[in-house]
Amino acid sequence: MFNRERDRLEAIIRNYYAEKGLPEPDAIQWNAIPFAGEWGISTSFFQLAALEARRGANAPGTPIPERAQQIALEIADRIGVPAGFSHVEAVKGYLNLYYLTSEFTSRVISTVLSEGQDFGRGMTKSERVMVEYAQPNTHHSFHMGHFRNAILGETLSRLVEFAGFPTIRASYPGDIGLGVITIIWMYQKFYFGQEPQGVHERGQWLLKLYVEASRLFEPKENESPQEKALRETYDAERRELYRKWDAGDPEVRALWKMTREWSLEELRVILDMLDIHIDVWFFESEVDQPAKAIVEELIQLGVADDERPEGPVIVRIDEKLGLKKEKYRTNVILRSDGTTLYLTKDLALAKEKFEKYGVDRSIYVIDVRQSLYMQQTFKILELWGFKQAEKCYHLGYGFVSLPEGAMSARRGRLALFKDVYDEALRRVLLEIEQKNPDLAAEQRELVASQVGLGALVYAMLSVDNNKDIVFDIESALNFDGRTGPYIQNAHVRASSIIRKAGGLPEVAPYEGELTNHEIQLVELISRFPATVQQAANEYRPLILASYAYDLADAFHSFYHAVPVLQAETEQTRASRLLLVAAARQTLANALRLLDIAAPDVM
């Protein structure tokens, strides 16, 4: 936020380097002074000293830390105390410049309050980004693994968008495949005409059919010849159904469409609950035909080898790339019966994204287990001559399992999002009953939903992308400490103070000596814009999630230690009220990017 001061300092430092004939580094690295309650910027001279020593210049034989300290001292002397700073010191090879806190605080607060919801937003950029996430299979129910994916994709989208990039949100449900066909077969054979009432009930019922069907297709131990024959008959029926679907049989397609819609309806309802609004819906079934055309092209180009009818169509990726060691291996892009695969469809989808939607960068938020497939897809695109292949990025994330082990629909070991959500709601309502019994009845449901979701969302975002999550409902629905509700509560407390104050005073210079709590709070607020950029650049919502917690932590400490409404003087009261308003705004902006609601009461 304070680039002006920085630029001026850098000019002085560079002048000094030039004068002394010191090697000039590409960039001067500034960091925050890492001491609690101190606010300012810092840089060090170890690299410079090391560079100098390597060239054998100036003071030969001086240990690097000592030489760094010499330089720091000389520069401190040269700089003096620039405008806007209270004091400057050279310590252990570091140059520390401390802000005049009241002046900087005034600037931070007026910036936040005038920019409001846009505080922290990056300059608009021209590069258009598409984020693909929310790819659950239809005919299944939305579970906590899908939830992590949806939240990660959504927060990433919000971050990238807020950082200044035009952003398109894309969903890609897997609406066809043998699993889907299996459920339709089950429905047609044993449950034809049935239909449970209720959006979630219907979705979960299809999952039940899948579990039942899986049992029918699993060979039993000591299977009798009759049982085996029956199983094989069923399997033949199922394959025939898939063939019919592929051929466009109207009856099969109608059945498929109806059940598919049941799933999609539930998906839309859940995404709506999560405040996720997808711009573009792609379906696997829709890229099926274009994918086949690409396969033909790849065969013509000699990229793919057609081994039909004995085998499938494959791409020997390493060989085509001229690699000696196996890395991307070989993959099948068309079955011997001419039907497409998951990877094949992704080739067609990539083309559509870039050409139809004009995106410049394409991010895939997909489970890390599909890493190899993603790399293979990108490499085949490259071999095909698709230049934008290098603009495709797979954001992998660790999968969600349960304390009992991996989730498995067939074993009925599944944490369905709707069930977890209902439980969250129940627990938050109990909590409200206990902690805020005065909360108006008509507000309770809404607040409970916001807080429950806040807890669940934060549980997903407080772990880095590449780490697995063992989803334990007890710890996810803990509302104390490093959690969503803790951050929401800071926002609630800030709102409460402003409400009781009956409005905000005019923005004016900050009055009074700042306490350490105030300094720490305002320092964190000032860091928000840079934190947004970093999180967006690194595709890591965790960075913002950690920041939001730190900000809430600083606010809670401030809240406890520093009186606002009861401040000693009217001016101090006014200044602190504005600080509270700035903190509240920054908390709200951070929570919004994290897809967590910022309630005024809880």
Partner RNA sequence: GCCCCUGUAGCUCAAUGGAUAGAGCAGCAGCCUUCUAAGCUGUUGGUUGUGGGUUCGAAUCCCGCCAGGGGCGCCA
Cis peptide before 309, with omega less than 30 degrees from 0?
Answer: yes
Residues 74-133 that bind RNA (CB under 7 A): 91-94, 96
Q: Which is nearer to RNA, 25 or 166 (CB)?
A: 25
Stretch in the footprint of RNA (CB under 7 A) among 142-150, 212-220, 293-301, 429-437: 429-437
Q: Which is nearer to RNA, 96 or 155 (CB)?
A: 96
Q: Which is nearer to RNA, 167 or 585 (CB)?
A: 585
Q: Which is nearer to RNA, 343 or 596 (CB)?
A: 343
Write down the least CB distance from residue 419 to RNA, Å.
20
Angle at 128 between CA 127 and CA 129, to 5 degrees: 115
**Tokens linked to 20:** 């002394």
Write down the least CB distance from residue 102 to RNA, Å.
19
Q: Which is nearer to RNA, 53 or 100 (CB)?
A: 53
**C-alpha count within 13 angstroms, C-beta hemisphere, residue 517:** 16
Among 107, 189, 268, 556, which residue sits at the site for RNA (rule: CB under 7 A)?
A: 556
Q: Find out whether 123 and 109 touch, Cβ atoms under 8 Å.
A: no
What DSSP string describes 547-565? HHHHHHHHHHHHHHHS-ST
Stretch in the footprint of RNA (CB under 7 A) among 8-16, 150-158, 214-222, 477-485: 477-485
**Tokens linked to 255:** 């059945």
E strands, 70-165, are 85-91, 94-99, 129-133
**What are 306's strand-pairing partners?**
313
Q: Which is nearer to RNA, 111 or 370 (CB)?
A: 370
Does the footprint of RNA cover residue 400 (CB under 7 A)?
no
Does the footprint of RNA cover residue 543 (CB under 7 A)?
yes
Q: Which is nearer to RNA, 278 or 461 (CB)?
A: 461
Does the footprint of RNA cover residue 65 (CB under 7 A)?
yes
Write down the least CB distance from residue 89 to RNA, Å.
8
Give the span between the Cα atoms of 102 and 576, in whole angstroms: 12
Among 156, 206, 255, 341, which residue sits at the site for RNA (rule: CB under 7 A)?
A: 341
Residues 275-334 that bind RNA (CB under 7 A): 284, 311-312, 314, 325-327, 329-332
Give the span between the Cα atoms of 272 and 32, in whole angstroms: 40
172: left (phi over 0), alpha (psi -120 to 50) or beta: beta
Question: Which of 397, 354, 391, 350 is CA-nearest to residue 156?
Answer: 397
Does the footprint of RNA cover residue 587 (CB under 7 A)?
no
Among 371, 390, 504, 508, which residue sits at the site for RNA (rule: CB under 7 A)?
A: 371
Q: What type of residue sits at position 29? A: Q
Among 103, 306, 352, 600, which residue sits at the site for RNA (rule: CB under 7 A)?
A: 600
Q: Which is nearer to RNA, 49 or 274 (CB)?
A: 49
Does the footprint of RNA cover residue 546 (CB under 7 A)?
yes
Could you give the 3-state DSSP secondary structure of residue 467?
coil
**Tokens linked to 324:** 């000696």
Distances in Å between the Cα of 361 and the Cα atoms of 128, 129, 132, 390, 502 are 6, 5, 11, 9, 47
Q: What type of residue sits at position 370? A: Q
Length of the chain (residues): 602
Stretch in the footprint of RNA (CB under 7 A) among 121-129, 225-233, 415-423, 457-465: 457-465
Q: What type of residue sits at position 312? A: P
Residues 19-58 that bind RNA (CB under 7 A): 29, 31, 33-35, 42, 44, 46-47, 50, 53-54
Among 100, 199, 299, 368, which residue sits at the site for RNA (rule: CB under 7 A)?
A: 368
Q: Find out whether 407 and 478 touch, Cβ atoms under 8 Å.
A: no
Q: Total residues at the site for RNA (CB under 7 A)?
A: 98
Q: Which is nearer to RNA, 33 or 524 (CB)?
A: 33
- The angle, 0 to 180 degrees and rounded to 10, between the axes of the packed helices 516-538 and 101-115 is 50
Does the footprint of RNA cover residue 508 (CB under 7 A)?
no
Stretch in the footprint of RNA (CB under 7 A) among 7-15, 108-116, 256-264, 555-563: 555-563
Write down the least CB distance from residue 483 to RNA, Å.
7
Dihedral angle, C-alpha 121, 124, 129, 130, nearest 10 °: 60
Q: What type of residue sits at position 259? A: T
Question: Which of 402, 469, 456 is CA-nearest to residue 425?
Answer: 456
**Tokens linked to 493:** 């407390």
Contacts of 113 by beta carbon, 8 Å cutoff, 6+ apart? 507, 578, 581, 582, 585
Does the footprint of RNA cover residue 149 (CB under 7 A)?
no
Does the footprint of RNA cover residue 10 (CB under 7 A)?
no
Does the footprint of RNA cover residue 451 (CB under 7 A)?
yes
Helix%, strand%, coil% for the chain, nearest 5 = 60, 10, 30
Write down the least CB distance from residue 269 to RNA, Å.
22
Write down the least CB distance from residue 314 to RNA, Å.
5
Among 423, 464, 515, 516, which residue sits at the site for RNA (rule: CB under 7 A)?
A: 464
The string over 189-210, giving b where at least 16 C-beta atoms fall within 10 Å of a residue's C-beta and e elsewhere, is: eeeeeeeeeebbebbbbbbbbb
Among 87, 560, 569, 570, which residue sits at the site for RNA (rule: CB under 7 A)?
A: 560
Write down the least CB distance from residue 100 to RNA, Å.
18
Write down the least CB distance from residue 358 to RNA, Å.
26
Write down the least CB distance from residue 577 to RNA, Å.
9
Pattern 226-265, RNA, x by CB under 7 A: ----------------------------------------
